[in-house]
């Protein structure tokens, strides 16, 4: 229930942004002291650092040994674009679109690549598309976790083991916080700035043997910028997947990524990271169960994200407002939390329904989530009083 009394306890770390996300607990600038600054990324030692990011990532995630993993430019967006522009066009493609970024990929496929045989399978915020429509004879593009809707896939049962098409998965807010079924996937992308709290601008692109075979057998009909090219003379450029990046990476960011991966190992690897994220979701779920004014945007509990935890406001006075009024009230709520210094960047994504988005990835301490929740009630009480006064 909303409360009018200011809480006594504040989160030790008020950073609940969904990207870039909170640094790992205990992080300081000293963690970057080993960065090979002023060095060529093609020199032996810097290249070894890049390879370390690849090797540690594969090990923590349990990626099959025959998969390739490379560091690519432009964060997760760059990784997804590389996959779409390099791999699509050999057969028809289905795009599952249920939040902002998956809708962006649908726009790329239909309006930029202009593939004639492309089918968008949509769903509104809070829901998943009809997964039964996915055709195993076609490629399929999807996000594992809807960063802007808080809706994730419960499983990959809709992807058949004997599929003919490729399964291309944007896992940027899922990798390191959720189990990924590698046998059901062919391309997986993510960025450093999400679950492990790394710095932005670098992406990761993982390819299965089936994806590599497509790269080597299919030549896109459109021009390919250098920054997207993964093959040379019809064969995959293996150097990309050994740390020989296409363009110049930041060795400062590389050092930070290594620090995050070492921390991940120290908390129990993937199992520990998943447990930390799920504990954060559970804390918010307990609060939602006793809070009449808030609810999860995800309609099915099985699809609630444990990273980008999206909340909607269901109080009657709020739902009675028009769209502009709801947006204004939600903005005031997020602004109040920021002014109090208890939750930074907690507003819903700009294209999502008005509400709150609380990052619950592994670098966020459950104690900080629990300290934040009374502040949500307090902030809501202030906004409610203001709007009811205006309406009187």
- pLDDT-above-70 percentage for the chain: 99
Alpha-carbon gap, residue 76 to 205, rounded angstroms: 8
What pLDDT, on a 0 to 100 scale, did the predictor assign at position 301? 98
What pLDDT, on a 0 to 100 scale, did the predictor assign at position 2? 60
Q: What is the pLDDT of residues 275-312, one digit of tens each?
A: 999 999 999 999 999 999 999 999 999 999 999 999 99
Q: What is the pLDDT of residues 206-224, one digit of tens each?
A: 999 999 999 999 999 999 9
Burial 311-340 (b: 16+ CB within 10 A, else e): bbbebeebeebeeebbeebbebbbebbbeb
Q: What is the pLDDT of residues 111-170, one digit of tens each?
A: 999 999 999 999 999 999 999 999 999 999 999 999 999 999 999 999 999 999 999 999
Which residues are CB-contacts of 241 (< 8 A; sequence separation ≥ 6)?
54, 68, 69, 70, 207
Vertex 308, ends 337 and 16: CA angle to 5°?
35
Residue bearing the bigger pLDDT, 391 or 375: 375
What pLDDT, on a 0 to 100 scale, did the predictor assign at position 274? 99
- pLDDT (mean) for 63-79: 98
What pLDDT, on a 0 to 100 scale, did the predictor assign at position 390? 87
Q: What is the pLDDT of residues 156-195, one digit of tens each?
A: 999 999 999 999 999 999 999 999 999 999 999 999 999 9
Q: pLDDT tier at 1 (50, 70, 90 boundaries)?
A: low
Burial 350-385 (b: 16+ CB within 10 A, else e): eebbbbbbbbbbbbbbbebbbbbbbbbbbbbbbbbe
Say whether pTM exceeds 0.85: yes
Instruction: Report whether pLDDT(356) > 80.
Output: yes
What pLDDT, on a 0 to 100 scale, did the predictor assign at position 305? 98
Alpha-carbon gap, residue 337 to 368, rounded angstroms: 14
Alpha-carbon gap, residue 203 to 200, rounded angstroms: 8
């Amino acid at each position: 229930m909303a409360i009018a009394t200011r809480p006594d306890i504040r989160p030790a770390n008020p950073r609940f942004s969904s990207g870039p996300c909170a640094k790992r607990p205990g992080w300081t600038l000293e963690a970057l002291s080993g960065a090979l600054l002023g060095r060529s990324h093609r020199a032996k030692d810097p290249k070894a650092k890049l390879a370390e990011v690849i090797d540690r990532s594969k090990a923590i995630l349990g990626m099959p040994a025959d998969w390739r993993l490379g560091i690519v430019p432009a964060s997760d967006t760059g990784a997804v674009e590389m996959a779409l522009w390099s791999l699509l066009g050999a057969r028809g493609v289905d795009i599952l679109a249920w939040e902002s970024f998956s809708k962006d990929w649908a726009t790329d496929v239909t309006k930029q690549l202009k593939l004639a045989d492309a089918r968008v399978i949509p769903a509104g915020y809070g829901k998943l598309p009809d997964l039964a429509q996915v055709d195993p004879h076609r490629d399929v593009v999807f996000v594992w976790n809807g960063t802007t809707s808080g809706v994730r896939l419960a499983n990959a049962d809709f992807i058949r083991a004997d599929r003919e098409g490729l399964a291309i998965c944007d896992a940027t807010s899922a990798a390191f916080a959720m189990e990924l079924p590698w046998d059901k996937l062919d391309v997986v992308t993510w960025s450093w700035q999400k679950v492990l709290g790394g710095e932005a601008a670098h992406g990761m692109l993982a390819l299965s043997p089936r994806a590599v075979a497509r790269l080597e057998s299919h030549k896109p009909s459109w021009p390919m910028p250098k920054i997207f090219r993964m093959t040379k003379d019809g064969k995959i450029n293996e150097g990309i997947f050994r740390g020989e990046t296409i363009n110049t990476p930041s060795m400062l960011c590389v050092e930070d990524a290594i620090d995050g991966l070492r921390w991940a190992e120290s908390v129990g690897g993937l199992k520990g990271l998943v447990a930390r994220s799920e504990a954060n979701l559970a804390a918010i779920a307990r609060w939602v169960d006793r809070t009449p004014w808030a609810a999860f945007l995800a309609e099915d509990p099985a699809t609630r994200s444990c990273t980008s935890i999206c909340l909607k406001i269901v109080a009657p006075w709020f739902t009675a407002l028009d769209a502009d009024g709801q947006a204004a009230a939600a903005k005031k709520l997020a602004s109040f939390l920021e002014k109090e210094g208890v939750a930074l960047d907690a507003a819903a994504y700009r294209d999502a329904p008005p509400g709150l988005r609380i990052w619950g990835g592994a670098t966020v301490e459950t104690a900080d989530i629990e300290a934040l929740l009374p502040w949500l009630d307090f902030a809501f009480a202030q906004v409610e009083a203001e709007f009811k006064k205006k309406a009187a």
